[in-house]
Amino acid sequence: MLRLFGDGTDRLLLVNLGPDLFFMPAPEPLLAPPRQQDWQMVFSTEDPQYGGSGVAPVRLDTGWRIPAEAATVFASKPRGATDGKADAQDRVGRRM
């Protein structure tokens, strides 16, 4: 896991070289999005356009699912903001 703190937008890189990981609950503070923001998936090696088998949703309700043998990048976005491509399954981690 690598988190880059930015001015208004943070980035989170998750790389998993082993089997699927499930964090329920997720005890890692670096997984928490910035205040009043959510994580939005912006890249995954599991995307079919990169030879992957498809991107599974990551949901806060059940914890974090970090896919096996994959890298995933998230960007923080203001709560409720989308770029037109995202849907509810792409947004992760609500925090008051």
Cβ pair 41, 67 in contact under 8 A: no
Q: Give CA–CA dist 67/33, Å, rounded.
A: 19
- At the top level of CATH, which class does the domain 2-92 belong to? mainly beta
| Token pair listed for 60 | 């806060």
Pairing type for strands 91-92 and 11-16 reads unpaired
Which has the closest alpha carbon to 46: 77, 81, 71? 71
Residue 27 neighbours by CB distance under 10 Å = 8
Q: pTM for this structure?
A: 0.77
Q: What is the pLDDT along the chain (96 residues), one digit of tens a residue?
A: 999 999 889 999 999 999 988 888 777 888 889 999 999 999 999 888 888 888 776 655 678 888 889 899 999 999 887 665 544 444 454 443
